[in-house]
Structure formats: structure tokens, C-alpha cells
Copies of this chain bind each other. A is one copy, B any other.
Amino acid sequence: MEGRPLRGMRDYLGEEAILRSELLEKIKASFELFGFQPLETPALESWDVLSAKGAGGEEILEETYNFTDKAGRRIGLRYDLTVPLARVVASNPTLPLPYKRYQIGKVWRYGEVGKGRLREFTQCDIDIIGSEHMISDAEVITCAVHTLKNIGIDNFIVRLNNRKLLNSLVRLAGVPEEMTIDVLRAIDKIDKIELNGVIAELKKLDLTHNTLNSIVEFLKIRGKPSEVLTSAKDIVKGDKEGEEGVEELNKLLHNLKLMGSYEVITIDLSLARGLDYYTGPIFEFVALEGVGSITSGGRYDNLIKIFSGKQIPATGISLGLERIIEVLKETKEQKPKKTKTQTYIAATNDEVRDSVIEVATLLRQRGIKTDYDLKIRKLTRQLEYAASINVAYVIIVGKEELSRGAVKLRNMQTWEEKEVQIEQLHLYIK
């Protein structure tokens, strides 16, 4: 019998499970601090929903687990939490807007398996539906900044761009409309293949010399956000979509300043992002040590329309739990917890087993996370076990102390041991 999980999927136990559980609690708390409300949607969706035109796109559908159910209906496992959200909003027309929701859940993609690339992974998403204002984009970015700092990731930058601006820059450079997507895809590879690689890719596309030069020129614009935007504004002057893009970014920067998250922002005209549905600001959080991109998102004002026929603006961001853990592993001196249990009660011999249970029951009633021996082992084995799981306190129950209504309490950090009345025990355990 095969004991391992399926390829690209993982069991999490022990320290890893504790770390994941604690990170998810912190992420949830950060999301709620910013007024986002919980949402749960099913893991399975109808294929119609998953494959809606303008949603994930062909590339992602290739990787989507799908099959026919008993009723002959084609269904699949969700590949993200954004498309299900769009379905929910469309099917709840009385939902008060703006709707700020968070969702934390597994998603599945049957893709290549590699370091940090799994077939089942956890996304932590926040989205604001129904607000066209750049305050909302600033909210999701700031909430993500707060969340990452809250879990101990400080060393990152936020790359910011705008699809409108990008469309305009590419058009003004002379790229024919039908080639826009190819050019954006080439630009999007700049992280991996650098500017020279992008130039080589663009050359394959049969662009004119002037067009190529114009693109390279705007890709080279670097500097403070305000300087980059001033340069971009000059280029797109007179082009409505481009001016809108610049205007959106200016408003976004203004709000990010008010929210105190301006210092991590860079405007990066080479950020294009893969997914088809983005329409306005797009953003990507990059860890300066380790795995690179950890969080990304953007505005998608047309996605909900696909499901409801009604134009409803939306913006959001997604944090990948596994990527965050990669960054933490590479940058932090992790001292992972082996147990969440605070105290372990040991019996000196079998006569006091019942008393061990009574002490455990009392401590639990008082809110102390408590465990004790369930295998009727010798004292030395019990103490070995307690030490191996890094429990903070061990309580030793012996006949003599019991006769005085007491037990021994050992602090496993300091190795200090003292006799404590059972009734007082909970006061000594932190």
C-alpha cells in the first residue's frame, strides 16, 4: 500500500503544521483588522464557471483538475479564489457594496512540481468589490504590507504598474493591437531573462526598429515613483487611456502615503502580470531575499460582468502561504514550536495514574493546554517524551506530595523544580 500523498501534494504534521496554523491565524487577524469579512466557497465548481471566457484563461485551464460527475456534469477543482468570488458576487445581487471579503483556502493546479511549486497549495485572498476608487487598491496593498510585517517578513518591495498605462505605452510605441498580449508577455519575463533577454524576445516579434527602441526606452525608466510617473506622463500625453493610468497611479500613491505604506513602493513599468482579467493597477510583492514574488494582485473591473452581465469594479490581492513559509525559512532564525501544549503531567508509578487524570482535568478546566501519558510508561520514558516535544513545564505526580495535596513542578527551561499545591498549580504556568 502506497503511504505517501499524491505527487505535488503534502501532509503537514508536527512543527510544520503548527507553523502553518499560527501563520494562518495571524493572516486572518490582519485581514479582519482591515475590515475584511470571511467567505467560504466550495472546492468544486462547475466547468462553466472555471472556464468562463476572460477568467483564468487557457493556460490555467490546462492545469485544472476536472472530470465528469455521476450526473454527467463537467466539474473541476478551483484553481484560484478570485473566479469563485466573482460567481458569488454575481449570484448575490442584493449584497451590500462595497463587499470586502477574505478567503483562505486550498487551490489545485496540475502543473510541474518543483521547489515551492505544489499541486495543492493555500491562497489567502482579500478583495474589495464595488469600489472604483484608488482608496480600495491602496487598502488591499496596505493590508498585505501589514500582514507580511505581522508575520515577520520585512524585507520586501512592492512593484506597481497599471494595465491602462502599459496598454498605452505599448500602443504609442507602435505595437499593433493584436500583438499587445505577445509584447506584454515578453516584457513580463524581465525578472527571469533581464532587459537583454526581453529585447531578444521582442526582436522575434518582427517589430519595427523604432517600436523596439520606444519600448526599451520606457522599460529603462527608473527612479522615485513620482519621477517615473512624470516621465511616463510625458510619453502618454494626449492618449486618454495612458493618462488615466498615470492618474490612477498618482491617486494610488497619494492614498498609500496616507496609509503609511509608501516607503516600500516602486513604480515598475516592466510589470505586466500573466492573468488576462486585470484592467487597472497591478502589483507584485517581491521578497529581497529568497523566493522572489510572494504576493500579487490588481484591479479587475470586468471579471464580474462575465458572470452577472453587470459591470462591478473590483480589486484584490493574493498571498501564497507556501511561498511565505519559504521566505521565512530562508530569512529567519526559526525556532519552530514542536507542540502547542504547555504542560505534561508524569506519574511516578501506576498507583497515582488516577490522580494524574484529575490534575489534568483541573488544569484544562482552567485553560492550561495539558497532556499526560496514555501508554502507562515508566517515569523516565515519560520525562524523555516531555523533553522531546519541548513542553515548557512538567508536573510530576508522586504519592508523597499527593498526601500533602501537592505535586512537583519542573520548569523545563531553567530546570528549576518546586513543590506546588494542586489548587495553585495554574498560577505558576505561563
A68 to B110, CA, bound (A): 12
A42 to B212, CA, bound (A): 47
Complex partner residue of A87 from B3, B354, B361, CB under 8 angstroms: B3
- Is the beta-carbon distance between B52 and A40 smaller than 8 angstroms? no
A258 to B10, CA, bound (A): 39
| Main DSSP-derived SS at the A contact region | mixed
Q: Is A191 an interface residue (CB 8 A)?
A: no
Closest to A98 in B: B374
- Is the beta-carbon distance between B10 and A385 smaller than 8 angstroms? no
How far is the CB of A168 from the nearest CB of chain B, in Å?
26
Residues of B within 8 A of A32 (CB): 340-341, 369
- Is the beta-carbon distance between B120 and A42 smaller than 8 angstroms? yes
- Is the beta-carbon distance between A37 and B18 smaller than 8 angstroms? yes
Complex partner residue of A45 from B6, B131, B340, CB under 8 angstroms: B6
A:94-112 near B, CB below 8 Å: 95-98, 100-101, 106, 108, 110
A70 to B40, CA, bound (A): 28
- Is the beta-carbon distance between A96 and B388 smaller than 8 angstroms? yes
Residues of B within 8 A of A52 (CB): 1
Residues of B within 8 A of A369 (CB): 32-35
Find the residue from A1, A69, A376 having the highest chain B CB count within 10 A.
Answer: A1
Residues of B within 8 A of A100 (CB): 371, 374
A:374-430 near B, CB below 8 Å: 374-376, 385, 388-389
Q: Is A88 an interface residue (CB 8 A)?
A: yes
How far is the CB of A361 from the nearest CB of chain B, in Å?
5
A357 to B258, CA, bound (A): 7
Contact with B along A211-229 (1 / 0, CB 8 A): 0000000000000000000
Q: Is A75 an interface residue (CB 8 A)?
A: yes
How far is the CB of A186 from the nearest CB of chain B, in Å?
29
Complex partner residue of A133 from B3, B34, B376, CB under 8 angstroms: B376
Residues of B within 8 A of A97 (CB): 375
Residues of B within 8 A of A365 (CB): 260
- Is the beta-carbon distance between A139 and B374 smaller than 8 angstroms? yes
- Is the beta-carbon distance between B110 and A70 smaller than 8 angstroms? yes
Q: Is A26 an interface residue (CB 8 A)?
A: no
A291 to B255, CA, bound (A): 51
- Is the beta-carbon distance between B1 and A364 smaller than 8 angstroms? no
Contact with B along A54-89 (1 / 0, CB 8 A): 000000000001011110010101000000000110
Complex partner residue of A259 from B128, B139, B357, CB under 8 angstroms: B357
Do A361 and B259 contact each other (CB < 8 Å), given the known contacts A14-B37, A88-B13?
yes
- Is the beta-carbon distance between A130 and B43 smaller than 8 angstroms? no
How far is the CB of A341 from the nearest CB of chain B, in Å?
5
Q: Is A238 an interface residue (CB 8 A)?
A: no
- Is the beta-carbon distance between B96 and A364 smaller than 8 angstroms? no
Residues of B within 8 A of A11 (CB): 39-42, 88, 91
- Is the beta-carbon distance between B1 and A306 smaller than 8 angstroms? yes
Q: Is A90 an interface residue (CB 8 A)?
A: yes
- Is the beta-carbon distance between B374 and A46 smaller than 8 angstroms? no
Q: Is A44 an interface residue (CB 8 A)?
A: yes
Closest to A372 in B: B35
- Is the beta-carbon distance between B96 and A5 smaller than 8 angstroms? no
- Is the beta-carbon distance between A133 and B17 smaller than 8 angstroms? no
- Is the beta-carbon distance between A260 and B361 smaller than 8 angstroms? yes
Complex partner residue of A40 from B12, B28, B46, CB under 8 angstroms: B12
Complex partner residue of A6 from B42, B130, B259, CB under 8 angstroms: B42
What would 23 A/B residue contacts be, using CB atoms closer than 8 Å? A2-B46, A3-B87, A3-B307, A5-B45, A6-B73, A9-B44, A10-B42, A13-B38, A13-B40, A13-B95, A17-B38, A18-B37, A32-B341, A33-B369, A34-B364, A35-B341, A35-B372, A37-B340, A43-B120, A65-B67, A65-B69, A70-B110, A258-B357
